[in-house]
Structure 1
Amino acid sequence: MSTLDARQPAGVIHDIGYQRYTGPRLGRRHIVGALYLHGVRTAFGLGRSAKAKIFPWLIVGVVGVVAAVLTAIRAQTGTAPLSYGEFPEVLSVLIIFFCAIVAPELASRDLHSGVLPLYLARPLRRGDYAMAKLAALVSATFLLLAGPLTVIFAGAAFTVDGIGAVWDEFGDYLGGVAYAAVHALVFCVVALLVASLVRRRAVAAGAVVGAFLLTTPVVGVLAVLPSRDASQLAGLASPVTLVSGIGDWAFEPGGEVAIGPYGPVYAVVALGLVATGVLLLLARYRKVASQ
């Protein structure tokens, strides 16, 4: 090698102004909170393109219009067309489609783009990611139902006479909100678990819808069996009718005929479904992180 070549530098370091971060490091709890907040915003398309906002806000608009119509009818006639407990049940199909669109956005997008190793780096744990996504989906679905229920209650409070009637109305409203929470929890656990198994969002959306709707014929077959117990327990075969059975037992007095004395069984099965779904979701992300 010549003397000239030996004197030439092997490389040059350019100072382009990068500085080390010297601020506070907020840690795991704040990371989970930020991930949860980002998930709620994603569910409603906030901070994203106009195309991403179309479907969630279309659902929000439809549910809001239904609530406004029910409030107007109550104000004009003095009679509620739907009880607070019946409101989430009537809108269950819309809830399914909302979950089918939002769950893949929260789960399948990150799986498809391969960014999970970045999320799951320390101090964020594997379970933190899954639970933050689930909490975001449950919160968004609950808000979708609880907001219109609050509008209905506010309108009803001005149409009843006396503070006692308002208090009774408030009790019914709390029952409806609790029933909406049951819908959100059961539906979202199933939807996010299914979406976490599929990397393509379109396929995941179809799989979520199928998980709910394809089990409905099974309920129909079991319901026509000659055994009375079998027909009363048929609703356990589908998440939709499972939640409906809980509503008949706990939130809609007088509706126990369809499920007979098996209301507590529906509640226990729903609790088991949620617990099993959460465990499988955590196991799924442990497997993804290890790949």
Structure 2
Amino acid sequence: MSTETTQIHNIGYRKYDGQRLGRAYARRSLFSQSLRGSYGLGRSAKSKVLPMILFGVMCVPAAIIVAVAVATKAKALPLDYTQYAIVTQAIIGLYLAAQAPQSVSRDLRFKSIPLYFSRPIERVDYVLAKYAAMASALFALTATPIVILYIGGLLAKLDFADQTKGFGQGLVSVALLSLLFSGIALVVAALTPRRGFGVAAVIAVLTITYGAVSTVQAIAFSQGATGAVSWLGLFSPITLIGGVQTAFLGATSDFPGGVGPGAGVGVVYLLVVLALIAGSYAVLMRRYRKVGL
């Protein structure tokens, strides 16, 4: 006869009676984790190499400009605050191409989106956190050199009012650029779980479009169609930002012949930029309605 008996073991399960931090905390945590991940923080050493190199490369020209301005006692900085991001657009494109897919493609590839939504977090929280984190990371990348230029301008004893005005215009410019570029890059990256495809697509959208638009603008200008130059700038993210700067932030146009949009066309530029930002958010929401199931 079997002498085995059933035993009940107390394995120590206890009811959680701590504070339930809820949805807002989950959203903030996802934002923080995504922002840190954009610079490789909290990840492997290999993940930190590229974003930190790009951050350094972004800041080095500003430091050189400051050193030259202070050493030569220049009367003005050789590069306007609003032009810095335009000049360094290739670095911005590489940064987004590397980090936007990393932010969203891994979740898509490993099908971890439903795990996020099993917590007290909604689709809108995920999209807002990812968008805000990418835009904040890009703003840090683009605003830091402008801060260096501003400090250098003050050290060079340039006019305080002029430098402060230019500094403010530069910050507004890169804030708008960060929202626009981050939205576009995240949309492109979210369309594929393959990180390599996402990298190539982001580069194509942000960089190749600028080359194509600039070429067509140069052809139009050489043919005397100067009126078309401003309108052509609507078809590239970087020329959109350049047009808004020229129309509203006192920037010098980098369009062929210096033909930039006036206030009237500038309103169209601004509306297109705002529409693209809102559209990027809407596309991301639609995308994660499907993959979150």
TM-score, structure 1 length as denominator? 0.90
Matches within 5 A, 1:44-59: 44-59=39-54
Give the conservation status (yes or no) of the 8 Å contact 1:39–1:136: yes
**Matching of residue 101 in structure 1 with residue 95 in structure 2:** no
Partner residue of 1:216 out of 210, 217, 221: 210
1: CA distance, partners of 2:155 / 2:41: 33
Between stretches 15-24 and 25-34, larger displacement belongs to: 15-24
Distance 2:34 2:127 in 1: 11
Corresponding residue for residue 259 of structure 1:
260
Return closer, same or farther for 1:158/1:118 CA change in 2, 3 Å cut-off.
same
Question: Partner of 1:85: helix, strand, or coil?
Answer: helix
SS for the counterpart of 1:80 is: coil
Q: Given residue 84 of structure 1, which amino acid in structure 2 is its aligned partner?
A: Y
Q: Which moved more, 1:228-237 or 1:13-22?
A: 13-22
> What's the counterpart of residue 59 of structure 2?
64
Structure 2, unmatched stretches of 5+, are: none
Q: CA deviation at 1:251?
A: 2.5
1:89 matched to which residue of 2?
86
1:17-51 C-alpha deviation (Å, 9 max, x unpaired): 45433210011111111110111100010011100
Q: Which runs of 4+ in 1 moved over 6 A?
A: none
Task: Report if the CA contact (8 A) 1:73-1:80 is conserved.
Answer: no
**Which one-letter code corresponds to 2:230 in the other structure?**
Q
What is the aligned-residue identity percentage? 34
Aligned to 1:272: 275
Work out the number of aligned pairs and report it. 282
Relative distance call for 1:63 and 1:208 in structure 2 (3 A) is same
Output the CA distance in 1 between the equivalents of 2:50 and 2:25. 30
Is 1:242 aligned to 2:240, yes or no? yes
Listed as ranges, the matches of 1:1-291 within 5 Å are 4=2, 8=4, 14-77=9-72, 78=74, 79-160=76-157, 165-220=159-214, 222-223=216-217, 224-225=219-220, 227-255=225-253, 257-261=258-262, 262-290=265-293
- What are the ranges of 5 or more consecutive residues in structure 1 without an aligned counterpart? none
Root mean square deviation of aligned Cα: 2.0
Please report how far the alpha carbon of residue 230 of structure 1 lies from its aligned counterpart in structure 2 after TM superposition: 2.6
TM-score under structure 2 normalisation? 0.89
